[in-house]
A and B are shown apart, each in its own frame.
Chain A
Amino acid sequence: MTKGVVVVARNNKSLDYIKQATFLADKVKQHLDLPTSVITDSTEYLYSKKYDSKFDNIIPIVWKSEDMIDGETLLSKSELHNNRRYHDGTVSSKELQFKNGARTGVYDVTPYDETLLIDTDVLIMNDIYKYCFEQSHNFLIYDKSYDLAGFRNPNEFQYISDTGVKFYWATIVFFRKAEENKIFFDLLNHIQDNWYHYRTIFQIPTVLYRNDHAFSIAIHIMNGYQSGNFSMPMPGKLFYTTDKDILWQVKNDKPFFLLEKQDYFGEYTAALWNNHNIHVMNKFSLERYIDEVWNE
């Protein structure tokens, strides 16, 4: 059984997801001793930066069906051209393209029998994800999460809407090549292709396509439109900071954050985290941190 990590990295005009993916691949090697493959539409940039040696496989996204090589490339869908506001702390933000349309195709291109699919903005600090490969369930995903700030309303990460189904995080997913997972990823593709219909049926108020929502809907359907055991939880909890918080630095393997301060716009609370993996949604501050580490 081959094992590895897959990451999807698609740059927009301000964020360097390739850089984040390269940093993640280093951390995966260090803590999990696993190879990392990257799915990207920025292959030229990746090679020009000489990041290619960090990856086990580089899987290009192609734009025409005649350029497609089965299992080695991923055909781009007509992109939804999502735009979203990316914050860098509480007072600064940018409206940027949110190219999240390739995740549903990961099953068909992963080179591994057992795949850990991770977002580029996760800081891997320990080896807890090794457990995914030791357990017997074929599909693991987080349903429990923990916001470091402690005061923000967590409802949007518990249910996909006020009247919707349970929320699952597509941030970190473990799956094996298995018939039921093929069905699941095909269903995900179908949901993505018919997003307007599904977001209406599942009463999602925002137009923005989010993989978390598509995964949540697909899991609900796979469970027979009720709670069930199609998915099991990833080990531990998903700890996260939002893009209103700032990753300032990492000291002795402990990330130091400035957390948004309740009721004080533009002010922050200092917070020293421990050595548990954490999802850092402020990608600008993550990139500044990576630059700092690489320049040392």
Chain B
Amino acid sequence: MDERLEKALDFSNFMVTLNNQKRFLQESYEQDIIHYTNGCQFTVNKELICFCKIMLLQEQDSIVLIDDNSRPLEIENLEEFYNTIMSKYFEASNTYLVEYTKLTKTRNIEKMVEL
């Protein structure tokens, strides 16, 4: 095989694997930011965090939130809930960053999949 084509095909394999691993990291992150509490499920995103913070600034102790499956839940201790979701968000985001950085620095498939 022409050496130029062989190199291009090697690189193509590398890119397919890299893109897959990036997709998996994103999927993993989307699972890691889900917070389960009192039978309800909340995806911890910037909107939820901001809303809770605004409610705290309005000196609300408890609020009603609608979860990912449209179920209403009274959050009795808003401050505790806010701290928990913040911690969840930072932990998941930091893990995503670390893993993503590690992945993008990898230059061959073997290291990418830890072979």
For the complex, what is the distance from the CA of A43 to the CA of B41, rounded to whole Å?
40
A140, closest chain B residue (CB): B69
- Are B113 and A235 within 8 A (Cβ)? no
B83 interface residue (CB < 8 Å to A): no
- Are A269 and B20 within 8 A (Cβ)? yes
A146 interface residue (CB < 8 Å to B): yes
Which residues from A are CB-within-8-Å of B17?
269-271
A261 interface residue (CB < 8 Å to B): yes
Which residues from A are CB-within-8-Å of B41?
131, 135, 235
Q: Pick the residue among A150, A235, A237 that contacts B36 (CB under 8 A).
A: A235
Task: Say which one of A23-31, A99-107, A272-280 lies at the interface with B.
Answer: A272-280
Most buried by A among B16, B21, B25: B16
Given A269-B17, A271-B17, A271-B20, A134 and B34 touching (CB < 8 A)?
no
For the complex, what is the distance from the CA of A276 to the CA of B31, rounded to whole Å?
8
- Are A270 and B113 within 8 A (Cβ)? yes
A252, closest chain B residue (CB): B114
A230 interface residue (CB < 8 Å to B): no
Which residues from B are CB-within-8-Å of A271?
17, 20-21, 24, 113
- Are B20 and A237 within 8 A (Cβ)? no
Given A135-B40, A271-B20, A272-B21, A236 and B28 touching (CB < 8 A)?
no
Contact with A along B9-21 (1 / 0, CB 8 A): 0000100110011
Which residues from A are CB-within-8-Å of B48?
none
Shortest CB–CB separation between residue A188 and chain B, in angstroms? 23
**B82-114 interface (Cβ within 8 A of A):** 109, 112-114
- Are B31 and A233 within 8 A (Cβ)? no
Show the binding face of A for B, using Cβ within 8 Å: 128, 131, 134-137, 146, 148, 150, 232-233, 235-237, 239, 251-252, 254, 256, 259, 261, 269-274, 276
Show the binding face of B for A, using Cβ within 8 Å: 13, 16-17, 20-21, 23-25, 27-28, 31, 34, 36, 38-41, 69, 109, 112-115
